[in-house]
């Protein structure tokens, strides 16, 4: 059995905080470590998501090119992962040339297979800034639930997607003015063409977490719709059509392809450039996406449809264990309000294993959890240092007293070494 494990690609426009780690990265890292300890064939893939309007907005605000933002935060995020010992087999980025090539190939295959069609649409246009406003450049009131400060493409409060122009009381995020609506042409992925395949696929996923499966079943019951996959911005992967030279691919179209391009990069790095195909083109590969609940629709609907619509066979997600959110001292983590615990700052004061332990014992697996500094102190001092630390100390002292500090490796049912096998020095990591 081969495993491809991925964690959601963090946006390269901000630092890593504990909510990210608790939801998508630590659970995956623990699972990968378990698989590797059992000698499983597994590759753990990630990278930074380096396109989209959030990066463009920040670059505009700072007066720099988007690549400057990308390189800055890619380094900060990568270093933060190292600080808490999150160990990827490959950590890439979506603004690298191989990713551009693969994303355009994905678009072309879907287009040639008649899953993508152009359509003249109405879109918000800012007369002050003289530009069409991609969804993240607009915010307003959610047309579904009424939440304020909803994004142009999706509401974080209710998780629903909608047509951007249905947003109530819209405002341009650049200048704050109310935009007008103008016509523009975009290309759409017709998800309704995958309805039968989706229903058959989901029917086999009775082992999925309830929140993920129910979300998908609800979408299928409502009926799948077309989804715009191009945008009117400059920063992104150019749409590979002569008539769309001023368009780029929507970030949520190209981002999951980053799982593949990062695997390609891994194969090249280990000197086996075609090795990635052994995983992605094998339908028996167990592809598992660790994400937060706000990313369910992209990983459980749009991404599988993109894979189904290719000319070559790709493995489909085997599982999508989407976690709930982690709050901080009873309040929702907010990067805009700086209400977060940033990983790079945490590891300057504490050992990264302290954070790993606390988040592992307080994981938001089935409901939102809360990070409390008082609880953190109690769990680290009481459970990790006192209970487990005392156990480790007793084991090492016992081995020194009775076995001269050497413990023989035990046998196992997987054909491991017997008791006559090699020994480990007490305290040595294997």
- Would you state the pLDDT for residue 161? 78
Residue 405: predicted pLDDT: 84
pLDDT at 423: 42
Q: Are residues 308 and 379 in the same domain?
A: no
Report residue 419: phi and psi, to 5°.
-60, -15
Q: Write down which residue in 305, 330, 355 finishes a domain.
A: 330
Prediction pTM value: 0.86
DSSP β-bridge partners for residue 199: none
19 with 105, same domain?
yes
Does residue 383 share a domain with residue 326?
Answer: no
409 found inside a domain: yes
Kindly state whether residue 41 falls inside one of the protein's structural domains. Answer: yes
So what's the pLDDT on residue 182?
93
| The domain boundary residue, chosen from 306, 330, 354 | 330
pLDDT at 197: 96
Host domain of residue 403:
372-430
Residue 376 counted as domain residue: yes
Residue 144 included in any domain: no
The answer to whether residue 198 sits within a structural domain is no
Report mean pLDDT in 10-residue bins for the chain, 430 residues.
97 96 97 97 98 89 95 97 97 97 98 97 90 86 92 83 88 92 95 96 94 92 93 94 94 97 98 98 98 94 98 97 95 91 96 96 94 96 90 90 81 44 42
Per-residue model confidence (pLDDT) at position 152 = 85
Distance CA 276, CA 223 (A): 34
3-class SS of residue 11: strand
What is the pLDDT at residue 425?
Answer: 47
Structural domain includes residue 227 = no
Structural domain count of the chain: 2
Which CATH number goes with the domain that contains 317?
3.40.50.620
Structure token digits, residue 308: 């189904």
Tell me what pLDDT residue 119 has. Answer: 95
Question: What is the per-residue pLDDT for 424?
Answer: 40
Report the pLDDT value the prediction gives residue 429, as an integer from 0 to 100: 39
Q: Is residue 422 part of a domain?
A: yes
Q: What is the C-alpha to C-alpha distance for residues 59 and 137, in angstroms, rounded to an integer?
A: 13
pLDDT of residue 426: 42
Q: What residues contact 81, with CB distance under 8 A and at least 6 apart?
A: 16, 25, 88, 91, 343
């Amino acid at each position: 059995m081969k495993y491809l494990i991925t964690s959601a690609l963090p946006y390269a426009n901000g630092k890593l905080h504990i909510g990210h780690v608790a939801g998508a990265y630590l659970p995956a890292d623990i699972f990968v470590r378990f698989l590797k300890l059992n000698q499983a064939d597994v590759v753990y893939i990630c990278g930074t998501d380096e396109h989209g309007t959030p990066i463009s907005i920040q670059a505009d605000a700072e007066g720099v090119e988007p690549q400057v933002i990308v390189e800055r935060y890619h380094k900060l995020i990568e270093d933060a992962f190292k600080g808490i010992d999150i160990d990827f087999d490959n950590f890439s980025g979506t603004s690298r040339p191989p990713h551009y090539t693969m994303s355009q190939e994905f678009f072309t295959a879907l287009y040639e297979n008649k899953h993508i069609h152009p359509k003249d649409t109405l879109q918000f246009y800012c007369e002050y800034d003289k530009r069409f406003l991609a969804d993240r450049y607009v915010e307003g009131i959610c047309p579904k639930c009424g939440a304020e400060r909803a994004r142009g493409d999706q509401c974080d409060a209710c998780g629903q997607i909608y047509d951007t122009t249905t947003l109530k009381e819209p405002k341009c995020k650049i200048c704050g003015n109310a935009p007008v609506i103008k016509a523009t042409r975009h290309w759409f992925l017709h998800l309704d063409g995958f309805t039968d395949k989706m229903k058959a696929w989901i029917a086999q996923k009775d082992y999925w977490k309830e929140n993920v499966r129910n979300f998908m079943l609800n979408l299928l019951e409502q009926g799948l719709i077309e989804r715009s996959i191009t945008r009117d911005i400059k920063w992104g992967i150019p749409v590979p059509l002569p008539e769309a030279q001023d368009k780029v691919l929507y970030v949520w179209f190209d981002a999951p392809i980053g799982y593949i391009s990062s695997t390609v990069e891994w194969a090249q790095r280990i000197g086996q450039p075609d090795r990635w195909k052994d995983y992605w083109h094998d339908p028996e590969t167990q592809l598992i996406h660790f994400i937060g609940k706000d990313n369910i629709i992209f990983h459980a609907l749009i991404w599988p449809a993109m894979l189904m619509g290719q000319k070559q066979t790709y493995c489909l997600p085997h599982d999508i264990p989407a976690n709930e959110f982690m709050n901080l001292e009873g309040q929702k983590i907010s990067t805009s309000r700086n209400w977060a615990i940033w990983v790079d700052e945490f590891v300057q004061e504490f050992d990264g294993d302290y954070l790993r332990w606390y988040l592992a014992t307080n994981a938001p697996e089935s409901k939102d959890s809360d990070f409390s500094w008082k609880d953190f102190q109690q769990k680290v001092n009481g459970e990790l240092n006192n209970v487990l630390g005392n156990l480790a100390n007793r084991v090492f002292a016992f081995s020194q007293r009775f076995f001269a500090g050497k413990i023989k490796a035990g046998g196992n049912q997987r054909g491991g070494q017997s008791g006559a096998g090699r020994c480990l020095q007490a305290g040595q990591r294997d």
